[in-house]
A and B are shown apart, each in its own frame.
Chain A
Amino acid sequence: QKEVEQDPGPLSVPEGAIVSLNCTYSNSAFQYFMWYRQYSRKGPELLMYTYSSGNKEDGRFTAQVDKSSKYISLFIRDSQPSDSATYLCAMSLIIQGAQKLVFGQGTRLTINP
C-alpha cells in the first residue's frame, strides 16, 4: 500500500464548476500537508500548505485536512481554464534532520471553457 494515495483522474469539468481533489495517507508522522500545481512540461509549484486539521482558504482555493481520517482535499471554486494542470498532494516528514516529501500520483485536471 502506498503511503499517499491520489486518484489520478483525469478530471474534466466546465468552467465555473467547483472542483474537489482528494488524497488519503497512512503515515501518522506526516507534519505538513501540501498541494503542488504542475503545468504541462513544467516543474511543480507549491499552491497551498497546512499543518493542522481544518480548512485554509486562499482566494478560490481551500485546503482541507482531516487528520483523524487521514484525508486531505483541495477545493477550487469558480474554476478557470487557467486552472488546468496536474495537482499533486504531498506530505512532509522529517527524517534524520531532513525534510522528505511523499507525493501522491497527481490528478490531471482540465477546465473546459
Chain B
Amino acid sequence: NAGVTQTPKFRVLKTGQSMTLLCAQDMNHEYMYWYRQDPGMGLRLIHYSVGEGTTAKGEVPDGYNVSRLKKQNFLLGLESAAPSQTSVYFCASLGDKSYEQYFGPGTRLTVT
C-alpha cells in the first residue's frame, strides 16, 4: 500500500496563476483533509471531506477550492495564487479508528 500520496512535491507559481494539488489514498478511507503548515502556526485545516461528493470548509478556506469526485482522490485548487499561499500543503485521510489521521509527504508551494 502506498498510503497517502501527493502530487506534485514542489511547485513555484507566479501571482495570479492557478494550479491543482492532487491527494490520493489507497486505504478506502471516507474522510480526507487538506492542511497548510506555516512556520510558527502549526497545521491549519483548509477544507475537508466526509465522503465522495461532499466537501466542507475548515479554518482557513479562503482562496482555495476542493473536489472529491472519487473516494480515493481529494483535489485542492488555487484559482489565483497569492504570495500569502506560499506554504507546505499536507493531505490526510482518516482511518477506521476515530483518532488516527494518515498524512501524505507534503507539497511545497512558493508563490512569487
- B13-53 Cβ-contact flags toward A at 8 Å (1 or 0): 00000000000000000010100000011111100101000
Tally of contact residues, B, Cβ under 8 A: 24
Given A43-B103, A43-B104, A98-B31, CB of A103 within 8 Å of CB of B42: yes
Q: How far is the CB of A91 from chain B (nearest CB, A)?
A: 10
Give A94 to B41 CA distance when docked, in angstroms.
22
Main secondary structure on A side of the interface with B? strand
A66 at the interface (CB under 8 A from B): no
Given A8-B40, A98-B31, CB of A45 within 8 Å of CB of B48: no
Q: Are B106 and A41 in contact (CB under 8 A)?
A: yes
- Tally inter-chain residue pairs, CB-CB below 8 A: 58
For this complex, into which size category does the number of interface residues on chain A fall? 20 to 34
Q: Are A101 and B101 in contact (CB under 8 A)?
A: yes
Q: How far is the CB of A72 from chain B (nearest CB, A)?
A: 14
Q: Are B104 and A32 in contact (CB under 8 A)?
A: no
8 Å CB interface, B44-84 against A: 44-45, 48, 50, 56, 58
B: which residues have CB within 8 A of A? 4, 31, 33, 40-45, 48, 50, 56, 58, 90, 92, 94, 98-101, 103-106
Known interface pairs A8-B40, A32-B99, A44-B90; 11 further A-B residue pairs with C-beta atoms within 8 A, sorted by A's residue number: A43-B92, A43-B103, A43-B106, A49-B100, A88-B43, A92-B98, A98-B56, A101-B33, A101-B45, A101-B101, A103-B43
